[in-house]
């Protein structure tokens, strides 16, 4: 097998005219077009009929993350505007605990106009007249650690809702509008933490979810908080030179039990669900080894999946066995929810362990998401994208969808 690290990113390019990028969603979420790829045969339908193309009695997994209003516009005393984009909680480090903070919290952030912020604190006025201040604490990796402080009787989540801006994708080339607050969230989003939507889920409506139930398709949820790294282009010629960003996941024990009950097989809604589900297999392998060696601590981060682990691991365990090991680990440490992280990169040559079908949008040229799709359809991505381009499909976050069943 070709070394996955030697994959040339130039081989995953295609022409994407700006007019093919959907700048806004359709008025009805589920009226979007649905490309159907089944064992190499391509067709199309409308999304609201997706359940008719799915096997009955299957298990479908959704990412319930919610996009936060992560972009904040601060001002220096001189009047210069500094944009602060929150990425990942630092203190408290747990997402929900951080969002409930009062008075003070710390985040790793991206800062626009950083050169103009030599020192001192920045301020941002709340609607009630109180201030939020921002103080730089130092550089961590590619981010700035920033402490936010306020005296208003509000949680950090409430402050973001009052003065934060929803960060729509940069390739839309427009400002966030009021409608995006609704349309850039899935109808089942619940757990705050993402700075980008899991966009495959944007097509689902109550009537589509009801149609799944009618076909006895069981629904489970995972949480992967989508980071800004999802938009980071691959700048290296070979994919081995690309550092995949780390993303945090949370999975309930019940969800893993259902995966085991379904023989470790699932239909994934979106690439974030794919990455979460596939990471669970490798977390199970890690959990098994740690427990055998008596080195398990119950800290979910010890199960972190590094970028290239799947390609460097000789794994003979079947999926259900690996997931069962993960359940034993959780039971041993009295965990109802597994909190961990993954840096997994899925490229051609990857062997899928859990995901048997995938719902996904159309992704940017030369992106890690396009590589994931190529891996899933055994390299046949170009025929899918050629069809979509020739048949007026809309591309990227607010664009149309596909159901891939290799």
**Any domain includes 60:** yes
Residue by residue, DSSP assigns 327-390 as: HHHHHHTT-SEEEEEE-----TT---SSEEEEEEEPPPTT-HHHHHHHHHTTTTHHHHHHHHHH
Domain annotation covers residue 173: no
Same domain, 89 and 125: yes
Identify whether 171 is part of a domain: no
- pLDDT for position 1: 59
Distance CA 144, CA 108 (A): 5
Domain boundary among 165, 193, 226: 165
Check if the beta carbon of residue 400 is closer than 8 Å to that of residue 35: yes
pLDDT tens digits for 307-343?
999 999 887 789 999 999 999 999 999 999 999 999 9
Evaluate whether residue 172 is within a structural domain.
Answer: no
Q: What angle do CA 238, 244, 250 make, to 5 degrees?
A: 150
Chain centre to alpha carbon of residue 174: 22
Domain boundary (103, 132, 165) is at 165
Domain boundary (132, 165, 198) is at: 165
**Whether residue 62 is found in the same domain as residue 87:** no
Q: Do residues 347 and 217 both lie within one domain?
A: yes
Where residue 249 sits, what CATH number does that domain have?
3.40.1780.10
The one-character DSSP state at 251 is E
Rounded Cα–Cα distance for residues 99 and 134 (Å): 16
State whether 203 and 286 are in the same domain.
yes
Same domain for 210 and 159, yes or no, is no
Other C-beta atoms closer than 10 Å to the C-beta of 311 total 15
Number of domains in the chain: 2
Q: Answer yes or no: do 275 and 377 share one domain.
A: yes
CA distances from 3 to 142, 241, 346, 367, 368 (A): 28, 13, 13, 18, 16
Whether omega for the bond prior to residue 364 falls within 30 degrees of 0, making it cis, is no
Question: Do 105 and 230 share a domain, yes or no?
Answer: no
pLDDT tens-digit series, residues 72-109: 999 888 778 999 999 999 999 999 999 999 999 999 99
The model's pLDDT over 41-72, given as tens digits with 9 standing for 90+, comes to: 999 999 999 999 999 999 999 999 999 999 99
Please check whether residues 244 and 151 belong to one and the same domain. no
Confidence of residue 194 (pLDDT cuts 50, 70, 90): very high
Task: Say what the alpha-carbon torsion angle 71, 75, 80, 81 is, to the nearest 10 degrees.
Answer: 10
Average pLDDT over residues 352-380: 97
Q: Is position 25 within any domain? A: yes
What was the pLDDT predicted at 93?
A: 93
Statement: residue 231 has pLDDT above 80: no
**Do both 38 and 114 map to the same domain?**
no
The answer to whether residue 75 sits within a structural domain is: yes
Number of other residues whose CB lies within 10 A of the CB of residue 251 = 26
Q: Is residue 49 part of a domain?
A: yes
Residues 248 and 371 in one domain: yes
* Structural domain range at position 116: 70-165
pTM over 0.85: yes
Give yes or no: residues 250 and 324 share one domain: yes
């Amino acid at each position: 097998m070709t070394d996955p690290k030697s994959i040339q990113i130039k081989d995953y390019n295609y022409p994407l005219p700006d007019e093919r990028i959907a700048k806004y969603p359709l008025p009805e979420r589920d009226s979007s077009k649905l490309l159907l790829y089944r064992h190499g045969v391509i067709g199309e339908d409308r999304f609201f009929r997706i359940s008719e193309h799915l096997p009955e009695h299957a298990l479908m997994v959704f990412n319930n993350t919610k996009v936060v209003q992560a972009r904040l516009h601060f001002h220096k005393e001189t009047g210069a505007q500094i944009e602060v984009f929150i990425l990942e909680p630092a203190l408290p480090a747990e997402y929900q605990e951080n969002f409930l903070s009062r008075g003070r919290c710390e985040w790793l952030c991206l800062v626009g106009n950083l050169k103009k912020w030599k020192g001192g604190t920045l301020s941002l006025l709340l609607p009630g007249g109180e201030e939020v201040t921002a103080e730089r604490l130092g550089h961590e990796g590619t981010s700035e650690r920033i402490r936010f402080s306020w005296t208003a009787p509000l949680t950090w989540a409430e402050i973001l809702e009052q003065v934060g801006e929803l960060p729509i994708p940069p390739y839309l080339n427009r400002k966030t509008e009021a409608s995006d607050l609704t349309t850039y969230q899935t109808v089942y989003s619940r757990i705050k933490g993402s700075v980008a939507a899991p966009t495959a889920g944007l097509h689902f409506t109550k009537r589509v979810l009801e149609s799944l139930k009618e076909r006895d398709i069981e629904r489970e949820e995972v949480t992967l908080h989508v980071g800004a790294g999802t938009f980071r282009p691959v700048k290296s010629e070979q994919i081995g030179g690309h550092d995949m960003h780390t993303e945090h996941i949370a999975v309930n024990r019940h969800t893993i039990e259902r995966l085991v009950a379904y023989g470790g097989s699932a239909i994934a809604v979106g690439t974030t669900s794919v990455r979460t589900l596939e990471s669970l297999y490798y977390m199970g392998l890690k959990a098994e080894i740690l427990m055998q060696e008596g080195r398990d601590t119950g800290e979910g981060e010890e199960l972190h999946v590094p970028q290239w682990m799947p390609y460097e691991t000789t794994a003979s365990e079947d999926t259900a066995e690996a997931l069962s090991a993960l359940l034993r680990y959780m039971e041993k440490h009295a965990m109802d929810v597994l909190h961990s992280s993954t840096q997994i990169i899925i490229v051609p040559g990857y062997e899928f362990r859990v995901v048997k079908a995938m719902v996904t949008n159309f992704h940017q040229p030369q992106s890690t998401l396009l590589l994931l799709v190529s891996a899933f359809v055994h390299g046949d991505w170009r025929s899918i994208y050629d069809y979509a381009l020739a048949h007026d499909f809309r591309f990227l976050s607010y664009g149309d969808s596909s159901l891939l069943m290799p």
